[in-house]
Amino acid sequence: MEQTESTATSTDRHFVAAEITAAWPEVFPPGRLILPEFRHMTLLFLGNKKIPPLPEPSWKLPPIGILGEKWIFLPEETPRVVAAVPTFIAGEKELLDYHAQLAPKEKFLPHISVSRGPFDTKAWMEFTCHIPFFIRGVALYKSLGHSNYELLWEKKSLLPFEEIEHTADIAYIIRGENYHQLCMHALLALSFTFPQFIDYLKKIPDVNSIENIVKLLNQWIAEIDIREGIGLKAVSYHATVEKKETLEWTMIVDV
C-alpha cells in the first residue's frame, strides 16, 4: 500500500503501530477482549496532527518473540487496559531503532493491548502463558473508536514462515538470512501449532547446515514425545535451501 502525506481533521486520531501475528489462546481471564486482528503495538501516537512521511523499518525478516509471560495494567494510576509485554527472541534492537526514528524524544515501553476494562486484575496477574508472535508489518491507522481501526498505510515484513499444503504431512516455507535464523524460524513455525517447542526458542545452538537443523529439531521432537507425547514423527531430511530474497527451506514434518 502506497504511503501518501495527508492532514487530519480535528476529530481524527491517527497512530503508527507494529502489526502482530500471534498464536493467541482461545481462553483468557475475564475482560473486554480486543479482537485479535486489532491487537497491535503502538509506536507513535499522532492524534490529529498532520501525518508526516513515515520511514520504512530496516528489518527484512521481522522481530519475533513470546507474549504472555508478563502482563501490565495501563495507565498505572487508573488501569483501563491489560497489555502483554513481549520477550524478544530476535529483532528487539531493530524495533527500538525504528521507534527512535519515529519518536526520538519519547520513551518506549513495547506492549500489546489485549483487553479493556472492566477486567479481573487478579486473574490476569496469575495468568501465565507462552504465546509465540512476530511483527508482520508496520502500519498507519485511523482510530474509529471502540477498538476498531482503519488501515491507511502499511509496510509488510517478509514472513518468517508460511504453512503450505502437503499430502498427509505438515509443511512450511521457512525463511532466514542464515542457518541460525532458519532454525529459529522453523521452531517458531512449529510453536504456533505445538507450544511444547516454545522453550527451545531460547536455546538454539550454532548450526551451519540444514542437516544440523533437521538433526536438532528431531532431537527435540524425540525429547517432547518421551516427556509428554506429540503428534509429530520427524522432520524430513529430504530438503534443499534456495537463495531468493533470503534463504528459503521447505520443511516437511511427518505426522
Domain extents for the chain? 14-156, 161-254
Query: For residue 142, what is its C-alpha cell?
Result: 485511523
Give SS3 for 247: strand
pTM of the model: 0.92
Count CB atoms within 10 A of the CB of residue 41: 24
What is the pLDDT at residue 110? Answer: 97
Crossing angle of helices 179-193 and 210-227, rounded to 10°: 30
**What CATH number belongs to 161-254?**
3.55.10
Do 14-156 and 161-254 agree at the fold level? no
The stretch 77-104 carries a mean pLDDT of 96
**Mean confidence (pLDDT) of the chain:** 92
Percent of the chain clearing pLDDT 70 (strictly above): 96
CATH of domain 14-156: 3.90.1140.10
List pLDDT tens digits, range 218-250.
999 999 999 999 989 999 987 789 999 999 999
Q: Quick: pLDDT tens for 16-58.
A: 999 999 999 999 999 999 999 999 999 999 988 888 899 999 9
Who contacts 39 (Cβ-Cβ below 8 Å, separation ≥6)? 20, 22, 24, 112, 113, 114
Rounded CA separation 66/25 (Å): 13
Give 4's pLDDT tier (boundaries 50, 70, 90). Answer: very low
Per-residue pLDDT tens over the stretch 153-188: 999 999 999 999 988 789 999 999 999 999 999 999
Say how many residues make up the chain. 255
Distances (CA, A) of 99 to 55, 57, 113, 137: 10, 9, 18, 13
Averaged pLDDT for residues 110-118 = 96
Range 194-214 average pLDDT:
93
